[in-house]
Amino acid sequence: MGKNIGFVSTRFSGTDGVTLEAGKWAEVLKKNGHTCFWFGGELDRSPQKSLLVPEAHFKHEQNVWISDNVWGKKSRAPAVTDMIHTIKSRIKQRLNEFIDRFGIDLLIAQNVLTIPMHIPLGVALTEIIAETRIPTIAHHHDFYWERTRFSIGAVGDYLRMAFPPNLHNIEHVVINSAAQEELALRTGISSVIIPNVLDFENPPVINGEKTVHLRQNIGLGPDDIMILQPTRIVQRKGIEHAIELVKELKDPRCKLVISHEAGDEGFEYAEWLKENARSQGVDLLFVNTYMNDHWHTGTEKQAQQLGDCFLLDLYPHADFITYPSLYEGFGNAFLEAIFFRKPMLINRYAIFVKDIEPQGFDLVVMDGFLTSKNVNQVKEILASSAHREKMVNHNFEIARRHYSYKVLQKKLNYLLDIFFGVEN
């Protein structure tokens, strides 16, 4: 029998990893007969199945004030504590309203009980879970101990209480083995690993006309070679290595295309990248397209209204993918490149080394710095369609076995069985 499942986070909108994975989870759950509902401070889901609560957004002015007064500090003023409890009480009322309005049987907390970007929301949700004993899956993407900005703070009491809470009616999910080990070491909480996934059973349908127009619109000629960096402009993405690669290829047809504009984290880094590319003679293009969550229904209509495209429209015309990240919790762009059967340069970030590399993917691999061997490998791949075809088909089959919707469905069914019995 289908359940009413409530997703809770600060936002479900855009292309951040939490939003993307929540959309995939919802898609798999819907196929299994469940109905999904959404609670957050910013939403692009159906209003009929959502409860929008602006105070739940991490950028809400009162939450920003709380964050400014607790992080980087060792003591907390009584006024800050009072504000935390005031906002917590308001959000708690709205969470109860959400559960009652949609008859929620199971909550899925998406990173909101993991990283303390919104302390009142995490505390409110923890109290609701404790008081109602509602079955809950806490999906953890990145813990506070993984981020330098949260290393000093005046909220240790709340971190121990709610980030994450250790309650008997919560099943915890992490996205990699390092997080599983660290969570157990720090809190004694056991967890299930569910890696990021894509629908490898249903290869993408390419809109050829649309992507040809896109190629023209971003300034690529018919003979140009698109080297795609499919990430946000954030320093940990190591985009300077992609610039170095294009320079070393020594081919004026090679253009580096970055799929996201600079955001809150990236303005200074973006300016440095532009100057770096100019000084090295590399053509660097930023795409100003509509980048939204392409994994849930309804977004295509929004994109058409804006005359823009999805992030996934970029992949079909990419000749090569660069992914030289210094750190990733898992790596959505890695899977997307494999999904679209594209060859790729990847840096051996820690989670890749531990969880992904042992699967046996065929990639151009750098270990912190670009070598002449790496450059020659890329040249060979770009020159040989047969080499390229063999490589990308091999990678697709590995990913289909380990990172598909079938894998996700099996793991989610296991978690639902824990709460509701084997009929699910």
96 to each of 89, 145, 165, how far by Cα in Å?
A: 11, 30, 19
Domain annotation covers residue 257: yes
pTM: 0.86
Q: How many folded domains does the chain comprise?
A: 2
Asked if residue 202 belongs to a domain, the reply is no
Angstrom distance (rounded) from CA 407 to CA 56: 32
Bridge partners of residue 323, in order along the sequence: 346
CA dist., res. 21 & res. 415, Å (int): 17
Do residues 237 and 325 touch, judged by C-beta distance below 8 A? Answer: yes
Shared domain for 409 and 353, answered yes or no, is no
- Whose tokens are 């063999």? That residue is 390
Same domain, 273 and 153: no
pLDDT of residue 290: 47
Q: Please give the structure tokens belonging to residue 136.
A: 């809950």
157 within a domain of the structure (yes/no): yes
**Mean pLDDT for all residues in the chain:** 90
Can you tell me the distance from the alpha carbon of 103 to that of 251, in angstroms, rounded to the nearest whole number?
59
Distance (Å, rounded) from C-alpha 406 to C-alpha 199? 8
Confidence of residue 214 (pLDDT cuts 50, 70, 90): confident
57 and 163 inside one domain: yes
Contacts of 305 (CB under 8 A, 6+ apart): none
Q: Quickly list H helices, 220-266.
A: 239-249
- Looking at per-residue confidence, does 296 or 17 come out higher? 17
pLDDT-based confidence at 262, cuts 50/70/90? low
The contacts of residue 192 (CB under 8 Å, 6+ apart) are: 171, 172, 173, 174, 411, 414, 415
Residues 225 and 191 in one domain: no
Mean pLDDT across the stretch 220-249?
Answer: 92
- Shared-domain flag, residues 223 and 147: no
Q: d(Cα 92, Cα 98) in Å, to the nearest integer?
A: 10
Whether 197 contacts 410, CB under 8 Å:
no
Name which residue leads in pLDDT, 223 or 218.
223
Burial of 280 (0-12, 13-18, 19+ CB in 10 A): middle
- Two structure tokens written together for 138: 């806490």
Domain harbouring 193, CATH code: 3.40.50.2000
| Residue 78: inside a domain | yes
- Range of 376's domain? 208-402
What pLDDT sits at residue 275? Answer: 94
- The pLDDT, as a whole number, for residue 423 is 60
Which is more confident, 203 or 156?
156
Q: What is the pLDDT of residue 66?
A: 97
Co-location of 187 and 46 in the same domain: yes
pLDDT per position as a tens digit, 31-75:
999 999 999 999 999 999 999 999 999 999 999 999 999 999 999
pLDDT tens, position by position, 74-130: 999 999 999 999 999 999 999 999 999 999 999 999 999 999 999 999 999 999 999
- Residue 89's contacts (CB-CB under 8 Å, 6 or more residues apart) are 124
What is the per-residue pLDDT across 317-360, written as a single tens digit (0 to 9) for each?
899 999 999 988 888 889 999 999 999 999 999 999 999 999 99
Instruction: Please tell me what DSSP assigns to residue 82.
Output: H
Do 191 and 64 lie in one domain? The reply is yes
pLDDT at 424 over 70: no
- Long-range CB contact pairs, 269-274, < 8 A, 24+: 269/233, 269/234, 269/235, 269/239, 270/233, 273/233, 273/239, 273/240, 273/243
Q: What is the 3-state secondary structure (H, E, C) of 280-301?
A: CCCCEEECCCCCCCCCCCCHHH
Do 321 and 412 reside in the same domain of the chain?
no
Q: Can you give the pLDDT at residue 211?
A: 64
* 337 and 285 in a common domain: yes
Q: Is residue 203 part of a domain?
A: no
Tell me, yes or no, whether 144 lies in a domain: yes
* Per-residue pLDDT, 315: 86
pLDDT of residue 167: 97
Per this entry, what is the length of the chain? 424
Q: What is the pLDDT of residue 260?
A: 74
| Residue 51 φ/ψ, nearest 5 degrees | -130, 110
SS3 195: coil
175-186 pLDDT, tens per residue? Answer: 999 999 999 999
Question: Is 169 or 291 the better-scoring residue by pLDDT?
Answer: 169
Query: Do 165 and 281 lie in a common domain?
Result: no
Is the domain of 159 the same as that of 223?
no
Same domain assignment for residues 45 and 175 = yes
Q: Take residue 404 and report the two structure tokens written for it.
A: 């598909």
